[in-house]
Amino acid sequence: MSLTYWCLVDRTASRGPGGWPAMQAGLLGTAPQCIPFEQRLLVFRALVAEDKERGRWDKPPSEGGPAPLQFTIHRGSLLQDGWSALRNSGAVVKGRLVVSFVNEQGMLEAGLDYGGLVKEFLEQAISTGFNADYGLFSSTPDGLAYPQPAATTIPNGLGLLEFLGLVVGKALYEGILLDVPLSPFFVARLQGRRPMFDDLAALDSELYRSLVQLKRYDGDAADLCLDFSVEDDTFGARSIQTLVPGGSQVAVTNSNKLHYIHLAADWHLNGRLSASSAAFARGLAQVIPPSWLKLFNPQEVNQLLGGGENGLVDVTDMAAHTCYSGGYSKDHATIKLFWKVMTSLSDKERQAVMRFVTSCSRAPLGGFQHLNPPLTLHKVPCEASLLAAVGGKDVDRLPSASTCYNMLKLPNYRRASTLKEKLLYAVSSNAGFELS
């Protein structure tokens, strides 16, 4: 390792008025590929920590921090209520949020928010807002999300997109994982970059191939009867958009086809997506500046948002950073059985357990020490035969999960075989809160 590289990495932990993480980010934003991803991740987290320290966002009011932002959300109108509560919050959203939920019957739900309800709110907002049926987001054939251009026609559509950008920013700021991979051309917009021609392949591979074929076409382009216009489709309503003034009357020829290719790709990537992408980016930038995201390429941004790329769950690391409640400890007999079972599971089964408990199948980047809230195993006391450990009737209850707290509610099984059977059944059938 070179001296220059060592200095760059070693000083990521040094924060203060000088803003060393910000200086590093400026350098790395120019040539991020020069530094390994793991080190750029450290710089990103140092930037967040420095920002929290500067704004005292993680401090209680008694220590000079801001008062918590309190708001109420009706589950039947979660997006609209969230937008109304946070649309004018500005930087205050970086501080502590206190959420109260009102159920479908109009009753205020009981419970204290120690971070779990905020996680639930963020996850539910993303799940609802990114659902294609809502009309705010669409996805590529590979399942990568981007804002629906027609969202501008939905009441408060741009405001809701800005709110969803704020939600994603808050999740990144707090290290809360969200299973919402974003398309590369959309990430480029969030980084303050303009998507280029090759980004069109991810949005519309057929159009991309057609434009490439036109570029390489040896014949007379005029024979293809193209003009400087494109067809737009807004929820089934078709319209013609011109790429130049009077474009529907301007034929594409060999002399201007490169200009046409550039304008057509730019319209699909930037013109058509401009308003909706800009709205989301405005919300995100209130929490996460574009310069911070420039530390990473689009694939790495998705890892930052949703966890490690390979999805493998390191059971040893998982155990080292797990908390226990309700009477469990790392030395409890059932806990020892649990870790024995987790070690025996396949990678796919471990990922399923992770999704069941946290709503995301991947571990956080850098390990479970960065999971927020921390993974917790909570004891559910249950009766069983005195001979359960040696073949008698064991606990029949299924495990359940509170994903908002990253908590697995685990009955005190006496045998590893029972624990494994019940756990995998609960996971595969998506058994929910307190289901038995």
Going by pLDDT thresholds of 50, 70 and 90, the confidence category of residue 179 is confident
Going by pLDDT thresholds of 50, 70 and 90, the confidence category of residue 198 is very high
Going by pLDDT thresholds of 50, 70 and 90, the confidence category of residue 9 is very low
Once rounded to an integer, what is the mean pLDDT over residues 107-131?
81
Task: Please report the pLDDT score of residue 391 as a whole number.
Answer: 66
Going by pLDDT thresholds of 50, 70 and 90, the confidence category of residue 395 is confident
Task: Please report the pLDDT score of residue 183 as a whole number.
Answer: 96
**SS3 per residue for the chain:** CCHHHHHHHHHHHCCCCCCHHHHHHHHHHHCHHHCCHHHHHHHHHHHHHHHHHHHCCCCCHHHCCCCCEEEEEEHHHHHHHHHHHHCCCHHHHHCCEEEEEECCCCCECCCCCCCHHHHHHHHHHHHHHCCHHHCCEEECCCCCEEECHHHHHCCCHHHHHHHHHHHHHHHHHHCCCCCCCECHHHHHHHCCCCCCHHHHHHHCHHHHHHHHHHHHCCCCHHHHCCECEEEEEECCEEEEEECCCCHHHCECCCCCHHHHHHHHHHHHHHHCCHHHHHHHHHHHHCCCCHHHHCCCCHHHHHHHHHCCCCCCCCHHHHHHCCEEECCCCCCCHHHHHHHHHHHHCCHHHHHHHHHHHHCCCCCCCCCHHHCCCCCEEEEECCCCCCCHHHCCCCCCCCCEEEHHHCEEEEECCCCHHHHHHHHHHHHHCCCCCCCC
pLDDT in tens, 271-289: 999 999 999 999 999 999 9
What are residue 42's phi and psi, to 5 degrees? -60, -40
- Report whether pLDDT(392) > 80: no
Once rounded to an integer, what is the mean pLDDT over residues 157-179?
94
- Rounded CA-CA distance 276/130 in Å is 13
Q: Higher model confidence: residue 311 or residue 102?
A: 102
- Rounded CA-CA distance 221/213 in Å is 11
My answer on whether omega of the bond before 399 falls inside 30° of 0, hence cis, is no
Lowest-confidence region among 183-187, 205-209, 357-361? 357-361
313: amino acid identity, one letter = V
Q: What angle do CA 209, 211, 216 make, to 5 degrees?
A: 95
Going by pLDDT thresholds of 50, 70 and 90, the confidence category of residue 435 is very low
Once rounded to an integer, what is the mean pLDDT over residues 89-105?
89
- Report whether pLDDT(309) > 90: no
- Report whether pLDDT(197) > 80: yes
- Report whether pLDDT(16) > 50: no
Task: Please report the pLDDT score of residue 384 as a whole number.
Answer: 74
Task: Please report the pLDDT score of residue 112 as a whole number.
Answer: 55
Q: Higher model confidence: residue 227 or residue 366?
A: 227
- Report whether pLDDT(101) > 60: yes
Once rounded to an integer, what is the mean pLDDT over residues 374-399?
82
Average pLDDT, the chain: 87
Whole-number percent of the chain with pLDDT over 70: 88
Contact of 268 with 149, CB cutoff 8 Å: no
pLDDT in tens, 324-340: 999 999 999 999 999 99
Task: Please report the pLDDT score of residue 214 as a whole number.
Answer: 96
Catalytic residue among 34, 360, 382, 404: 404
314: amino acid identity, one letter = D
Q: 161: which 2 tokens?
A: 């997109």
Has 404 been annotated as catalytic? Answer: yes
Helix axes 3-10, 37-55, angle to 10 degrees: 40
Going by pLDDT thresholds of 50, 70 and 90, the confidence category of residue 315 is very high
- Report whether pLDDT(430) > 70: no
Going by pLDDT thresholds of 50, 70 and 90, the confidence category of residue 434 is very low
- Report whether pLDDT(394) > 90: no
